[in-house]
Amino acid sequence: MPITTLDPKTALVVVDLQRGIVAVPVTPHAATDVVARTAELAGAFRERGLPVVLVRVTGRPDGADSPKGRTDAGAGSPAVRPDGWDEIVEELTSGDDIIVTKRNWGAFYGTDLDLQLRRRGVTQVVLTGIATSIGVESTARAAHEHGYHVTIATDAVSDRDAGTHRNGIEKIFPRLAETGTTAEILEVLAERER
């Protein structure tokens, strides 16, 4: 179902649009397009005094603070990350935004995101970011479980794998959220002022 409305207290939550992640090839939308569309949404939210939350993932180089647990993929060795890989891209930074740092896939677990949203009276979140099937989907699930209305900007999310992106857009998000393009979300945002 396409987006129907945005609550008066809606926040834009931007997931992992940071230097090291936007440098990785993604599909179906190039990272530069995801960043540009997210920046357009962020500008519209800021103009209206609505919160913008910039979420970044980080971790120790030795992986000591990474989530534990056995997986079929194995633990792997800690990735060697260049300096600044976890810095939010310049196109999105603004002095008044809320910054949330996470060490897991989703933006709620182990962070103060829920507290930051609730103290501002937020009842709905619009999500953008990379990767659709990891950080964005985990954050969408948790937002839904926390009782927020959730909207996904379908052309402002992307993934390393086309199949997992498509699964999120077509199968997962319709059960957790309303979905719409950046243009559709901006139109609904503008309609609230008419």
The tens digit of pLDDT for each residue in 24-62 reads: 999 999 999 999 999 999 999 999 999 999 999 987 655
Residue 76 lies in a domain: no
Residue 165 lies in a domain: yes
Give the pLDDT score at 192: 81
Give dist(CA 145, CA 113) in Å, integer: 14
The count of domains in the chain is 1
User: pTM, whole model, 2 decimals?
Assistant: 0.93
Put the strands of the sheet holding 149-158 in their side by side order.
98-102, 52-57, 10-15, 124-130, 149-158, 178-180
Identify the pLDDT of residue 135: 96
Q: What is the pLDDT of residue 17?
A: 97
In this prediction, residue 80 carries a pLDDT of: 64
| Pairs from 18-22 (Cβ < 8 Å, separation ≥ 24) | 18/56, 18/57, 18/85, 18/86, 18/87, 18/88, 18/89, 19/84, 19/85, 19/86, 19/87, 19/88, 19/89, 20/81, 20/82, 20/84, 20/85, 20/86, 21/57, 21/85, 21/130, 21/131, 22/89, 22/130
Question: Is the residue at 68 inside a domain?
Answer: no
Q: Which domain holds residue 102?
A: 10-58+83-191
The verdict on residue 69 lying in a domain is no
For residue 167, being part of any structural domain is answered with yes
The pLDDT of residue 94 is: 84
User: What is the CATH classification number for the domain harbouring 25?
Assistant: 3.40.50.850
User: How far, in Å, are 43, 104, 178, 194 from residue 189 at the CA level?
Assistant: 12, 31, 14, 10
Q: Extract the residue ranges of the chain whose pLDDT is less than 70.
A: 1, 60-80
Task: Provide the H-helix boundaries in 15-95.
Answer: 19-22, 31-47
The predicted pLDDT at position 193 comes to: 75
What confidence score (pLDDT) does residue 90 get?
94
Whether residue 3 is contained in a domain is answered as: no
Angle in degrees, CA 136, 139, 143, rounded to 5 = 135
**Which residues 6+ apart lie within 8 Å of 30 measured at CB?**
158
Other CB atoms within 10 Å distance of the CB of residue 47? 9
User: How far is 87 from 52, CA to CA, in rounded Å?
Assistant: 16
Q: Is residue 4 part of a domain?
A: no
